[in-house]
Every structure is written in C-alpha cells, then in structure tokens.
Amino acid sequence: MLTEPLVWAIFLLPVASFLIIGLVLRPAISAVPALAKASGYLTIIALGIGFALSIWLLRSSAHGVIYAFPPHLWLDLGPASVQMGLLLDPLTNIMLVVVTGVSLMVQIYSLAYMDGDRSFARYYAYMSLFSASMIGLVLASNIVQMYVFWELVGLSSYLLIGFWHDRPAAAAAAKKAFIITRIGDVGFLLAIIFLFFQADTFAARGLNAFHIPDIWEAARPIAAGGAGIVAGGALLWLCLGLFAGAVGKSGQFPLHTWLPDAMEGPTPVSALIHAATMVAAGVFLVGRFFPVFAESEVAMMVVALIGAFTAVFAATMALAANDIKRVMAYSTVSQLGYMMAALGVGAYNAALFHLFTHAFFKALLFLGAGSVNHAAGTFNMMYMGGLRKSMPWTYGLTLVGALSLVGIFPLAGFWSKDEILLESWLAGGAAPVAIVVFFALLVGVLLTAFYSFRMIHLTFHGEFRGGGERELHDVAAAGQPAPTGVTHHVHLGESPRVMVAPMFLLGISAVIAGWLANPIGVGMLFGLIPSHWLTEYLASGLHDGHHAPPFSIAMAVISNVVALAGIGLAVLVYAWPRAFTSLDPLTRGGVVHTLLAQRYYFDDLYEGLIVNRIFYRITVAATDWIDRNVVDGIVGLLGWISRNIGGLIALAQNGQVQTYPLAAATGGLVILILYLILG
Amino acid sequence: MWFEDAVFWILAVVAIAGSVGVVLVRDLFRASLLLSLVFIAVGGFFILMNAEFLAVVQVLIYVGAIAVLFIFAVMLTRDVQRGNTPNRLQVPAAFIATLLLVMMVATVVTTDWTTLAGAGLENKSRVAQIQAVGIPDAARLTAAGLTADEVTDVQTGGLADLLIGEFVLPFEAVSLLLLAAAIGGLALARGRGR
Amino acid sequence: MSLESMLIVAAIIFCIGLYGALARRNFIAVLMSIELMFNAVNLTLVAMGRWLVPFAVQEQLSTVLTGQVFAVFIITVAAAEIALGLGIVFAVYRTNESVDLTDAATMRH
C-alpha cells in the first residue's frame, strides 16, 4: 500500500536531483571535475526509484487498490480554489511507468552518449527538470497545476533543444519550438480561463472548476447522471481550446513544423522528449479530458480528422527526408496522428495503448539513430550505408523497432495499431468520418512501412558512403556551413555497452509491450496477464468504460498485408540494384519529391509568408507606423507642449524681482474681485 | 469731536501727500525725509485711536531707527545722483495699484461693520484702551462706568500682559527673528572673505 | 474720523506703497515703499481694534488690544526686514556697483 509521500516522491526525487545538480554540483564542477559524472548517477538514481515506485503503483492499482488522496489547497480564489493534488487513475499510472521507464533508459544511455560534453552536468540538470515536470503533469489533479507543469515541460524542451546553444540552428530550433507550441497553449489557457468564469456555476453544484474529475462531471449531461454544466457550443470551444494545446505539444497539423527542427537537440533528448514522452503529452491531455471530448461530437470529429490527416501528411514527408532523425521525427508526428485519430473515433484505450507501445519502440529507434551517429559521425543517411556489418546489435535492435513501428505481428506496434484500425473501422458503422479515418490510417501504414525500410536500407545496407568526414568534405566543397551533429570522428564499430544495454531493454519492451493488451489471450499462456489487460485497465478509469472489441483476424491480416506491401515496395525500390541505379530513386519523383522534401513548403509559409510578409511587412509595419507617428507624435507633442509652457513660464521667471510681487498683487486683486462678485 | 476730526484730516493729507512724495521724488534723501514725515503722521493716527503706546513705539522705531537707517543707506550708496527713476513696470504697477485701491475702498464702503459705537460699547472700550497703556487705576475705571469684574479684567489685560501671556509664543518667535536678523544683517554687511 | 475714513486712508497709503514697490528702480526706494505698506497695515489693524466689536468682548475686554499686539509684531518684523533689506542693498551694491534692482536680475555673485 503506497502512501501519499511515496507518490509525491516520484515527482520530488527528480526535482531534488535538479536542484542538487543545479545548485550544488554544477558550481563545484570546476573544482572537482569528477562531480560531472555524479550528476548523471544522481539523476539515474532518482529516476530509478521513481520507476520502481511507479511499477509498484501500477501493480497495486491493477490489483484493485484505489488511491485517492485529498488535494492540498494552493491558491484560494473564492469559488474555484486551485489545489495541488494527485489524480491516480489508470491513465496516470500507465503514463508514470512510461515516463519514468523510458526516461531511465535514456538517462543511462546518455551517460555514454554525452560523455565528454563540457556541459554534462547542465544536461542532467535539464533532464531531471524535464522528468520532474513530465511526472508532475501526469500526476496533476488540477487543471491549473497541470498547466504549470505543461509549460515547465515546454520550457525544459526549449532548454534541451537549444542545449548546444552556441549552434545557431539549435538556438533557432529551440525558439521555433517554444513559440509554435505557445500558439497552441493559448487555446489551453483560454480553456482554463473559460472554466474560471464558470467557477460560480460549478460551485453551485459543489464542484471545483479546476478539479479535473469535476470537469468530467460537469461535461456529462444530466440525462447521464452528470452535472451538465458545460454543453453545446461552450463545450465545443472548451474542447477545441484544450485540443489546440494538444496540437501544439504533439506536433499535429498545422503546428507540426517545430518537431522536425527539434532534432537539433542531443539525440537522447529527441528520444525522450520529442518521441516518447513530451510530445505524447498532447495525446495525454486529450486522453485526460476524454470524458469531456466524448460529449461533443464535433470536437471528436475535429480530433479524428486532424489526427488522421497528420498521420498521412507527416508520413509522406518522411519519405523524402535524408536526415535519419528527421525521418524519426516525421514518423513520430505521424504516430501521434494515429493516437489523436483513435481518440477522435472514441478508441480511448487503443490510443493510449499505442502511446504506451510507441514510447518504447520510438525511443528505441532514436537511440539507434544516436548509436549510428556515434559510429558514422553524421545523421545524413546519404553518407551512411553498410553499417549492419560493423554494428550488428544496433542493426538488429533498430530493425526490431522499425518492425514494431510498422506493426508487424507479433511485435508491440502491431497490437496497438491493429486495435486503432479495428476500432476506427467499427466506429465507421455509426460515423462516416471514422471510415475516412480508417482508410487514411491504412494508407499511413503503407507509408510507414515504406519510409521505415527506406531508412533501414539507406543506413544499414549497401556500401558505406563515408560518414561525417565525407559529408563535411562535400559540404565544404559546396561552400555551405557544416550541419549540426556532423563530425570528422568516424569509427565504424559497435557503440559502448552502456548505450546498447538500454536499447536492448527497450527492444525487449518493443517486442513484449503489446502483450499487455494482447487481444487473443496469448498472455494467458504465461499465466501472468489476462487478455485485454491494459485496455480493460484503462477503461476502468472512465465512467462508462469503453471495452476493447474482440480480436479480428481479418483486420490483422489486412494491416499486415498492407505493411508487408510497404516493406516489399521499399525493398524493391532500394535493395534491388537492377531496378534503379541512383542511391535514392525517389529523387526522380520530380515535383512531388520536391514538394515532400520541402515539407510542403509549410516552413516557408509560416516563416516566409506569415512571419516575414504578413507579420513583419504588415503588422510590424503598422505598429512601426503607429509607433513613429502616433506614439512618437504624442511624445513629441508632450515635449512641444512642455517646452512651450516652459518658455511661457520662463517669461515670468525673468529674474526681475518686481515682476513677482506684481504677479502676487494681481492674484490678490483677482481674489478680491472674485470675493466681491461671488461672496 | 471737531478737533479730533480736524486733526485726522490734517494727518490724512500729510500722510498721503508724504507717501506720494516718497514714491515720486527723485532725490532719495528727500524721499527719506518725507518717509519720516509719513511715519510721524501715522504715529499721530495711533494717538487719535487711543494707542498712545504704539505711537511712542512708532516714533522711536520708525522715525528714530528705520528712517535714520534709510538716510545712512542713501548716503552710503553712490546712486543718489541718478535718483529714484521708474522701471518698465510703471504702467502695469499703476494699473494694479489703482484697481486694488478701488476694490479696497469698495470693500470698506460696502461692508456692514459692527462698530463698538453701534454696539453701545464705545465708552468702555476707550477707557480700556487708555488704561491698557497707562496705569490701571481702579477709581478711574469705575468712574468710566465699568463694573468691578471689568475693572479687574482691564487691569490685568494690558498690552504687556498680552505680550507675555496669551501671545508669548509669537513674542518669543519674534525675539528669535530679531536675533536672526541681527546676525544676518551682520553677515550680509560684512561680505565674503573679510 | 470714523472706521471707514481711517481704512480708506490706510488703503490709499498701501496702494501708493505698492506702486512704489513695483515701479521703482532703486532698491532703497523699494524698501521705503514697503515700509509705507507696513504702516498702512498697522493703521488698519489698530483701527479695527479701536472701532470694531472684538470677538470675545463680552467675556474679556482686553481682547480689544489684539490689533495693537499685531501692530507691535509688525513693527518688529519691519525692523528686522529693514535691517536685512539694507544688508542686502549693501551686498548687491558691492557686487553690482549699483542699487538698481533691474540690474540684479541674476541672483549670483
């Protein structure tokens, strides 16, 4: 039985680690360099304990222990007091395991990856801060508390993307990520403000407008036994506000442009933050307020369509990316689209199941990319190739991750993706939108398979094409600045064990994580986990729990056939030397390839058109004009008035003593006259 | 009464004419002498208004000290020849002064004064004032029609009693002022560095 | 002789003094004019005390002397003022070699 302090410890240990590293270790490092390593171990110990506690929490919760700790008052705002509390429902428990687990693996991996970086301690301080914020976000029982951690997560993401802040590209990417996610956060904030203005209505029913379970209650119609405070248009806008925050954080269309750029950060950061946990916060947010979304048909439709569109849209961009981390980034955006789409069609547990499995295999893929970079000195796949011979472990694990991502039976990705497809197909009976979603996601499966194996082939097969050394040479010859993460340091060989070991653990997870929810009850064979365990557990957290549909062999066959078709196509295009001669035959795609490689020109649209043209030319020009003419004019006018009044007064201050008593006498005279007239 | 009125008008003419002279005469030395004349006329007014003590003070301080100081000042500065010329503010000053005079006269005329004569207290008050600066003789006060209480009041209520009684604080302040003025005058006249 | 005539005479002297104080160039003449104004005020105060019903006449006859008390103070202040004023005259004279007020437009050494 866990006590409240133990649950808080999951959150407070990384906080303590952050504070100790930041305030105690870092200032001392210049004197004792050995302390840098200590900061890494400190973070790992803090997260290790947190992971153990999370497992304990999940285990006891799964055995039917219900944890409910009363929240603590933070700010008393009259009817809507802001509280600090723990919301330990199944969603939180699962997320805790994902966050602490993946985080732990990544921190261990970073020990080797970041070895020798002069800001080693700073890296671990930020990582601790991030882990603490993410855990705080997951634990929050209050929407304001959640928002605080939401922004803290954004802050640590900013700090970590710009970790190598002496690189202009990294600094720019950090700013871009921060600003674009902020656009979405405005929606979140507006939703909170809306709730604040409803506080009296909430309080009249004995609810707290900021307490998350109370918000669920408020959105439930009276007919269903809820409070029915928020309904209709207001409910829709509340949902859209929250969804805007999720879109920004999860890199959904149209706020997706920051996520590929965020790969400027260290690779473990990309793995942890921009693949496994933080970007999933958007999905988590929608999942957290799923009972609210579920009451608004239009909001659900928006979520489903945005998700499905992003799933395909991002996957197409992954086809033309040459940077291995960017491929991963688009893949992440695409997979987050799957989760959103699943939420949109009402498949709450399938979406979160996919979040769960995705965290493991995507983190694995990123760590694989980092491992490849460690050897080849570059992230550009055009300069890789043939690495399977020199780094067999990385190859094998990345292949497992890719197969899991594609959704090949019986890997983790298969179970979750299959469930999403099945649910959207079944939901299509009631809502035509779901059918659109289903086919979009099916196309997404094909594209995912293709780009995954394009990546595998370009990286690990064929002949080695020179790595970072060659790239630097080519870039220098073309007269361009060197891209980030490229070094002359090329040594073909397996990465150190401390990097491979976490990858191995994640690889195991990427294989077996799906069995937590295996719909066919294979897990029963081991006598450990009943079938549909995860989805049922998640559903138990909802008021009217949605139950997973029975396994459909037809659907499994369809999705696997589509996935295999994608893999086959990729093999045909890349691995069959006689078919095409160039390295990447897709470059012959002409306009389409250019469109994809230029990321549909969205960056140009945002930065070139909206920011430079509209914002700078029009908004800034207008404000500049106002500043120059109106504001400066007022200031100038004030100056002119005071100057002239001053001149006028200076006329009187002429130093002639007798003018002063003359003025005084005049004043006295006026008073006397007024006295005679008025009084 | 006609005697008092006659004296009043003579004094009024002397005072006003003297004042005009002080302001307009070019020779500052003559102006100083005319100023003494005005001071003396004002002293006469004080006697007419039963303020004999003040009249004495007026003559002692103004005529005896201030006018003499002025004469010294005039003689110590070399501008005597250039004289008392007007400055550029002559016209506005004349305008303001005239207007102020008109207003003050209008005020004096239009105001409904509650005089002692109107209140039937003329006699008592006069006696009181005579005694205030003289020796408070109980017999004379009783003869002037004052009651026993009023006699005591007047006897203890002389000007000197007021100055060191009710008005002792401003009295002390004025003594400080005089001290400061003496030091300041010294400092100013002594000049810097000498 | 009445209150009104006394006050009017005082007003005339006051206004002549005012004119002189405002319109004369010579510092000493200005000081003289100011003395005229002081005297006019003194006349007013004493006249008020002489003719008007004091505020507390029923309780204390001595209050009729208040006007004279004020006149005493004013004479004292006038004496101080003239001592300082003439001191300033000499200071200005030493600096400017003249007692012309219009020349002393800048208050500095």
Mean pLDDT value of segment B45-52 = 85
Verify whether the Cβ–Cβ distance C36 to B128 is below 8 Å.
no
Of the pLDDT bands very low, low, confident and very high (cuts 50, 70, 90), residue B18 is very high
Mean pLDDT value of segment A128-156 = 90
**Least confident range of A71-75, A404-408, A552-556:** A552-556
pLDDT tens digits, A490-521: 777 777 777 888 888 888 888 877 777 665 65
Question: Looking at the predicted structure, is the pLDDT value of residue B95 above 60?
Answer: yes
**How far is Cα A256 from Cα A329, in angstroms, rounded to an integer?**
10
Which neighbouring-strand residues pair with A84? A72
Burial (CB count <10 Å: 0-12, 13-18, 19+), residue A410: middle
Of the pLDDT bands very low, low, confident and very high (cuts 50, 70, 90), residue C14 is very high
Residues sharing a CB contact under 8 Å with residue A549, sequence separation 6 or more, in sequence order: A422, A423, A426
Question: Looking at the predicted structure, is the pLDDT value of residue B16 above 90?
Answer: yes
Measure the CA dihedral A589/A595/A599/A601, to 10°: 170
Residue of B176, B4, B58 lying closest to C42 (CA atoms):
B58
Which neighbouring-strand residues pair with A140? A86
**How far is Cα C3 from Cα B116, in angstroms, rounded to an integer?**
10
Would you state the structure tokens that stand for residue A147, as one six-digit string? 């928002």
Verify whether the Cβ–Cβ distance B92 to A662 is below 8 Å.
yes
Question: Looking at the predicted structure, is the pLDDT value of residue A651 above 50?
Answer: yes
Largest CA distance in chain C: 59
pLDDT, averaged across chain B: 80
C84 to chain B: which residues are within 8 Å by CB? Answer: 181, 184-185, 188
For residue A411, give the DSSP letter. S
Chosen for mutation from A654, A662, A675 (greatest number of chain B CBs closer than 10 Å) is A662
pLDDT at B11: 94
Mean pLDDT value of segment A33-47 = 84
Whether the CB of C108 is below 8 Å from some CB of chain A: the reply is no
Question: Looking at the predicted structure, is the pLDDT value of residue B139 above 70?
Answer: no
Which of C21, C22, C105 has its CB closest to that of A655? C105
Mean pLDDT value of segment A532-548 = 69
Chosen for mutation from A657, A662, A666, A672 (greatest number of chain C CBs closer than 10 Å) is A657
3-state helix, strand, coil in chain B (%, to 5): 75, 0, 20
The angle at the Cα of C91, spanning C86 to C94, to the nearest 5 degrees, equals 125
Does B1-84 carry CATH code 1.20.120.1200? Answer: yes
Verify whether the Cβ–Cβ distance C18 to A655 is below 8 Å.
no
Verify whether the Cβ–Cβ distance A672 to B104 is below 8 Å.
yes
Alpha helices in chain C (DSSP H): 3-23, 27-51, 66-96
**How far is Cα A138 from Cα A118, in angstroms, rounded to an integer?**
32
- Bond into A254 cis (ω within 30): yes
Would you state the structure tokens that stand for residue A625, as one six-digit string? 């004009």
Does C3-105 carry CATH code 3.40.50.300? Answer: no
Verify whether the Cβ–Cβ distance A673 to B110 is below 8 Å.
no
**Least confident range of A220-234, A521-535, B65-79:** A521-535
- How far away is chain A from the Cα of B113, in angstroms, using its nearest Cα? 16
**How far is Cα A595 from Cα A184, in angstroms, rounded to an integer?**
26
**How far is Cα B51 from Cα A233, in angstroms, rounded to an integer?**
94
Of the pLDDT bands very low, low, confident and very high (cuts 50, 70, 90), residue C42 is very high
Whether the CB of A655 is below 8 Å from some CB of chain C: the reply is yes
**Least confident range of A296-305, A419-428, A455-464, A491-500:** A491-500
Determine if residue A576 is left, alpha or beta; phi over 0 gives left, psi from -120 to 50 gives alpha, anything else beta: beta
Which neighbouring-strand residues pair with B115? C52
Question: Looking at the predicted structure, is the pLDDT value of residue A364 above 90?
Answer: no
Q: What are phi and psi of A196, to 5 degrees?
A: -60, -40
Residues sharing a CB contact under 8 Å with residue A598, sequence separation 6 or more, in sequence order: A604
Q: Where are the domains of chain C?
A: 3-105
**How far is Cα A8 from Cα A3, in angstroms, rounded to an integer?**
9
pLDDT tens digits, A366-384: 888 888 887 777 777 777 7
- How far away is chain C from the Cα of A654, in angstroms, using its nearest Cα? 7
Verify whether the Cβ–Cβ distance A655 to C101 is below 8 Å.
no
Closest residue, chain B, to A665 (C-alpha): B96
A661 to chain C: which residues are within 8 Å by CB? Answer: 21-22
pLDDT tens digits, A200-254: 888 887 788 888 888 888 888 877 777 777 777 888 888 888 899 888 888 888 8
Question: Looking at the predicted structure, is the pLDDT value of residue A38 above 80?
Answer: yes
Largest CA distance in chain A: 116
H or E element that contains B58: none
Distinct helix (H) and strand (E) counts, chain B:
10, 0
Which neighbouring-strand residues pair with A82? A75
Mean pLDDT value of segment A279-304 = 86
Question: Looking at the predicted structure, is the pLDDT value of residue A525 above 50?
Answer: no
Chosen for mutation from C102, C107, C108 (greatest number of chain A CBs closer than 10 Å) is C102
Whether the CB of C102 is below 8 Å from some CB of chain A: the reply is yes
Distances (CA, A) of A165 to A119, A159, A172, A180, A401: 11, 9, 9, 19, 31
Q: Are A458 and A381 in contact (CB under 8 A)?
A: yes
A666 to chain B: which residues are within 8 Å by CB? Answer: 96
What subunits make at least 3 CB pairs under 8 angstroms with A?
B, C
Which of C18, C21, C102 has its CB closest to that of A656? C102
pLDDT, averaged across chain C: 83
Q: Are A254 and A151 in contact (CB under 8 A)?
A: no
Would you state the structure tokens that stand for residue A677, as one six-digit string? 């007239």
pLDDT at B19: 94
Question: Looking at the predicted structure, is the pLDDT value of residue B126 above 70?
Answer: no
Verify whether the Cβ–Cβ distance A658 to C105 is below 8 Å.
no
Verify whether the Cβ–Cβ distance B69 to C57 is below 8 Å.
no
Give buried/exposed letters for C34-45 (b at 16+ CB in 10 A, else e): bbbbbbbbbbbb
Which of A654, A657, A665 has its CB closest to that of C101? A657
Which of A658, A659, A669 has its CB closest to that of B99? A669
Q: Are A652 and A663 in contact (CB under 8 A)?
A: yes
- How far away is chain C from the Cα of B164, in angstroms, using its nearest Cα? 11
**How far is Cα A620 from Cα A224, in angstroms, rounded to an integer?**
51
Whether the CB of B54 is below 8 Å from some CB of chain C: the reply is yes
Question: Looking at the predicted structure, is the pLDDT value of residue C109 above 50?
Answer: no
Whether the CB of C41 is below 8 Å from some CB of chain B: the reply is no
pLDDT at B145: 67
Verify whether the Cβ–Cβ distance B16 to C64 is below 8 Å.
no
pLDDT at B127: 52
- How far away is chain B from the Cα of A663, in angstroms, using its nearest Cα? 10
Of the pLDDT bands very low, low, confident and very high (cuts 50, 70, 90), residue B193 is low
Verify whether the Cβ–Cβ distance B97 to A662 is below 8 Å.
no
pLDDT, averaged across chain A: 81
pLDDT at B166: 76
Q: Are A567 and A453 in contact (CB under 8 A)?
A: yes
pLDDT at B43: 93
3-state secondary structure of A117: coil
**How far is Cα A43 from Cα A129, in angstroms, rounded to an integer?**
10
Verify whether the Cβ–Cβ distance A662 to C104 is below 8 Å.
no
pLDDT at C62: 57
**Least confident range of A69-78, A177-186, A531-540, C3-12:** A531-540
pLDDT at A577: 62
B–C CB contacts, 8 A cutoff, strictly below: 267
Distinct helix (H) and strand (E) counts, chain C:
3, 0
Verify whether the Cβ–Cβ distance A661 to C106 is below 8 Å.
no
